[in-house]
Amino acid sequence: MEEKYARYLLEKTKRDYDLIASEFSKRRAKPWKEARFLFDKYISPGDKVLDTGCGCGQYADFIKEKGGEYFGVDVSKKLIEIAKKKHPELKFQTASVLKLPFPENFFDKVYAIALLHAIPSQKFRAQALKEMKRVLKRSGLLILSVWNIAKKKRKRKLILKFALLKILGKTKLEFGDILTNWQGINDCYFHCFTKHGLKKAVEMAGLKTIEEGEFSLGEKKSDNSNFYLVAQKTGKILDKNFWIVNNNARRGG
C-alpha cells in the first residue's frame, strides 16, 4: 500500500472515532468479560501496564484490580477526554501507537485489544509492533487481540470482493484488507488477520510467542470471534525478512 494512502486511512480512522466517541463509549462502557483471562493471567501487582488503543478506558478496572499501574493511549482526543472523566485518577493521553510517548524498556506489559486490525498497511502494523516492543522491558509481555473477521458469514463475500479487486489492480488496499460500514461510518478500514498471519507479524517484530488462541463474545457459537496472542520481548527485529514472510502469507496475513 502506498504510504500516502495509508496515512489517509490513519487520519480517517482518527476522525471517525472522534465523531462516534460518545456513542462508542456507551456501547463499550464495559470490557469484554471473555477477555478478562488475558489480564488475570498475566498482570502482577506493581506492573507498569500500557493499554494501547484504550478507547474510553474500559479495561482500566481489570488492570487496577490486579494491582497494575495503568497508562492509556488512544489516537482519538474525544475518547481520551471521556476516559479521563471516567477515571480521573489514571494516566491517559492522546497518542499514536506508531510513536509512543514513553522511553525504552518502561512497561512490564503492553496491551493492544482490538487495535492492530485497524492499522492500515503492513509497514505501519510492523511499526506499531516495533514501538510496543521498544517500550517493553526485557522479557516484558505484549498481549493483543484482533477480530477474526472471516468468521462473520456476512464479511466473507466482502473479503473475496476486495481480494478480486486487488488481483485486477482496482484497489489501493493490500490483500486481506477491506472497507466496510461500521458504527454508522462508511468505508471503515480493517485488516482481516488469520491466526498464522498475526503470529508471523508479531514474530517478525522480534517477539516470541508464548500463547495463542481464540475467544468468542457471547454465545460459544457466536461469529464475534477474536484471535489473541501473548508474546515476550526478545531478540532483534528481522527487518530484512519481514516483507518476504508477509508477502508469502499475504492471503491471510
In a domain, residue 170? The reply is yes
- The structural domain count of the chain equals 1
**Per-residue pLDDT at 248:** 39
In a domain, residue 127? The reply is yes
Model pTM above 0.85: yes
Cα–Cα distance for residue pair 232/84, rounded to 1 Å: 30
Q: What is the pLDDT of residues 89-146, one digit of tens each?
A: 999 999 999 999 999 999 999 999 999 999 999 999 999 999 999 999 999 999 999 9
In a domain, residue 138? The reply is yes
Specify the CATH number for the domain of residue 48.
3.40.50.150
Report helix, strand or coil for 164.
helix
**Per-residue pLDDT at 15:** 97
**Per-residue pLDDT at 224:** 86
In a domain, residue 171? The reply is yes
Mean pLDDT, residues 153-163: 92
Total count of residues recorded for the chain: 253
Cα–Cα distance for residue pair 77/219, rounded to 1 Å: 33
Q: Which residues span the domain enclosing 149? A: 3-248
**Per-residue pLDDT at 221:** 59
In a domain, residue 157? The reply is yes
CA 83 vs CA 77, 97, 179, 236: distances in Å: 10, 17, 28, 35
- CB 202 within 8 Å of CB 142: yes
Among the ranges given (83-87, 234-238, 248-252), the one the predictor scored with the smallest mean pLDDT: 248-252
Q: What is the pLDDT of residues 202-249, one digit of tens each?
A: 999 999 999 999 999 986 657 789 999 999 998 554 443 433 333 433
Distance of CA 222 to the CA centre of its chain: 21
Mean pLDDT of the residues in the chain: 91
In a domain, residue 253? The reply is no
Percent of the chain at pLDDT > 90 equals 85
